Amino acid sequence: MSEIFILIPGRTSKQGCGISEGKFSEGYLSEINLLQVSPKDMQRLGLNDGDRVRLSSETGAVEVAVVAAKGDELPSGVLFIAYGDLSSRLMGQDTHGSGMPTSKGLDVEMEKIA
Amino acid sequence: MSLAAEKETAPDSSLKIVLDATCTFCGCVCDDIDLTVKDDHIIEAKRACVLGKSWFFNHHTDQRPSCLISGQPASIDDGIERAAQILTAAKYPIIYGLSDTTCEAQRLAVGIGDWIGGTVDTTTSVCHGPSGMAFQGVGEVTCSLGEIANRGDLIIFWGSNPAESHPRHFTKYSLMPKGMFLPNGRKDRTCVLVDVRKTKSARAADIFLQIKPRKDFEALWTLRALAQGLQLDAQVIEDETGVPLAAWQDLMDRMKRAKFGVFLFGMGLTMTRGKHLNSEAVLALVRDMNAYTRFVAKPMRGHGNVTGADNVVSWQTGYPFGVNLSRGYPRFNPGEYTTADTLARGEADAAMIIASDPMSNFGQAARERLAAIPYIALDPKETPTTRAATVAFTTATYGINVAGTVYRMDDVPIPLRPAFDSPHPSDFDILSRLEKRVKQLKAAVRLP
């Protein structure tokens, strides 16, 4: 059973520190490979921290582990992931004459991997 | 920066102290960091934020060879020769990156782009490039961060999360400082945060407005309408933006009452649908506000010298990014000459990537094209981009090993005070030699 969400990739402290530690460092890789989901959506979809989901956009698909977002940081229906390899695989290819691929506010389909 | 800023010897003679060093991790470019250096390790970075500490503590000497050709160690001479051959033989060579190196190196990169008739683009195109387009359309009512520290009594962050991306912005410039006209510092300021997420920055704000994703344009034009005193339908506004009209009216009232309003906007605007139109809406709103009070806008810039890249490319070509030099004169066209496009469309047939990692940060089609063409990479660290490069130079780190100039996010130039020498060449060294060789090869082609 899949559902459409809005994905917001963005910076985090850990991701920023991880860039200096190295793109192949454990800290960096673990941060960019973790999807934050609102606690309400986690509960509704029967997801637990560490469960893996498949995210698909019109340009790509990735598999990623989920974690509940802290407090009320994320509204229901919105997902967050730290910028990196996975988020970039999902962003749009067309820059609409701007040079900037649509990199935030992406429509993605989320499906729990059994 | 204090007048006493100079290298000193610490009580322990094996340690070196560098006063007022400059952190080049983010666009704040904090130049008040005191470093303690032991051999090729920085072991203390006073006043640095969490990102700055990670920057300084993790840039010790990389043990990789200074040059790799097809993944094999090679001499720098051979690397320069191969790089020059690649760039001069190409029909559509591109140069990309540049936001994490000195202005001096950036200048050389643009020069090489000119010699090879290439396309020069910087990471601005996937950062605040849309804002760069908006500056051309609307203009920018702006100021330095020092003016914000001394005068800004209403600070609006929109689509930006400085608590995680620019941790010292609050304390050094925008919220906490006691300024010339704000003797009580934070108590004299009101901070508003507008975002689609309740980020860690919300804790620092007096007012948080959580708008619907992809509705920045509508929200900004709501404010523009309210600035003109237009009557709006409350239900429509709340349905569209996710925020009640009364909250927008309250914000507009505060904006008009402010003595010095400041609008700091991030990539929440430029990376979201609307892009340059979102930035244009900010700049137009801020321009409108100057009919009532003093109001300024500044983009929150990410990389340490991305602002320098805009400046240098503008000085040399007249345009800030996405510049094509193939006809012998500069042409600017975002969407045509920007790297995400030239790669994804399969146009570029060779590349030089300087201090950037498109193999991690670009979409799949662009990555596949880059992997299929010969390219040169310069980076202090090993990245997916350096690993797949035809020629990879391991370079010294700017600000830690290399002196030079960088531009803070408010276009203020700041000198670098390196901490220790690197066995690797700087970007400037490599690009100087490469430019010389490229010129020789181009001159040979022109000879009868």
For every residue of B163-191, DSSP letters joined together read: HHHSTTHIIIIISS--BTTBTTGGGG-EE
* Amino acid type, B304: G
Distances (CA, A) of B54 to B31, B44, B80, B178: 16, 11, 32, 28
CB pairs under 8 A between A and B: 146
Q: Do A96 and B335 touch (CB under 8 A)?
A: yes
- Alpha-carbon distance of B294 to A9, in angstroms, equals 34
Q: What is the mean pLDDT of residues B82-109?
A: 98
Question: Looking at beta carbons, which residues of chain A come within 8 Å of B25?
Answer: 16, 20
pLDDT in tens, B402-437: 999 999 999 999 999 999 999 999 999 999 999 999
Binning pLDDT at 50, 70 and 90, where does residue A114 land? confident
pLDDT in the model for residue A94: 87
pLDDT averaged over chain B?
A: 95
For every residue of B381-404, DSSP letters joined together read: S--HHHHT-SEEEE-PPBTTTB--
Interface confidence (ipTM) of the complex: 0.96
pLDDT in the model for residue B404: 98
Taken in order B409, B410, B415, B417, is the CA torsion positive or negative? Answer: negative
pLDDT in the model for residue A2: 87
Binning pLDDT at 50, 70 and 90, where does residue B3 land? very low
Mutate to test the interface with B, among A4, A11, A35, A62 (most CBs of B within 10 A): A11
Mutate to test the interface with B, among A20, A78, A94 (most CBs of B within 10 A): A20
Mutate to test the interface with A, among B26, B126, B280, B300 (most CBs of A within 10 A): B126
Residue in B55, B302, B383 nearest the CB of A20: B55
Q: Do A78 and B382 touch (CB under 8 A)?
A: no
Report the gap between the CA of A46 and the closest CA in chain B (Å). 23
- Alpha-carbon distance of B196 to B216, in angstroms, equals 9
Q: Do A21 and B54 touch (CB under 8 A)?
A: yes
**Closest-approach residue (CA) in chain B for A72:** B198
- Alpha-carbon distance of B17 to B5, in angstroms, equals 10
pLDDT in the model for residue A54: 97
pLDDT in the model for residue B90: 98
pLDDT in tens, A22-81: 999 999 999 999 999 999 999 999 999 999 999 999 999 999 999 999 989 999 999 999
pLDDT in the model for residue B2: 44
Token pair recorded at residue A103: 């990199």
Residue A33, helix vs strand vs coil: coil
pLDDT at B1 over 50: no
Question: Looking at beta carbons, which residues of chain B come within 8 Å of A73?
Answer: 197-199
Q: Which letter does DSSP use for residue B25 in this model?
A: S
% helix / strand / coil in chain B, to the nearest 5? 40, 20, 40
Q: Do A100 and B381 touch (CB under 8 A)?
A: no
Of B442, B435, B342, B427, give the one whose Cα is nearest residue B392: B427
pLDDT in the model for residue B61: 86
Bridge partner residues of B335 (DSSP): none
pLDDT at B5 over 50: no
Report the gap between the CA of B90 and the closest CA in chain A (Å). 22
Bridge partner residues of B46 (DSSP): B34
Phi/psi of residue A79, nearest 5 degrees: -115, 155
pLDDT in tens, B135-189: 999 999 999 999 999 999 999 999 999 999 999 999 999 999 999 999 999 999 9
The bridge status of strand B350-354 relative to strand B375-379 is parallel
Strands (DSSP E) contained in B126-275 are 154-158, 190-195, 207-210, 260-265
* B313 Cβ contact list (under 8 Å, min separation 6): B98, B106, B110, B120, B122, B319, B320, B321, B323
pLDDT at A85 over 80: yes
Strands (DSSP E) contained in B310-390 are 323-324, 331-332, 350-354, 375-379
pLDDT in the model for residue B446: 67
Instruction: Supply the pTM of this predicted model.
Output: 0.95
Q: B85: how many CB neighbours lie within 10 A of its CB? A: 16
Q: Do B51 and A20 touch (CB under 8 A)?
A: yes
Say how many CA atoms lie within 13 Å of B64 toward its Cβ.
22
**Closest-approach residue (CA) in chain B for A76:** B197
Residue A51, helix vs strand vs coil: coil
For every residue of B328-381, DSSP letters joined together read: SS-EE-TTTSSHHHHHHTT---EEEEES--HHHHS-HHHHHHHHHS-EEEEESS
* Amino acid type, B274: G
pLDDT in the model for residue B372: 98
Residue in B273, B360, B364 nearest the CB of A102: B273
Mutate to test the interface with A, among B341, B343, B353 (most CBs of A within 10 A): B341
Token pair recorded at residue B256: 């008009």
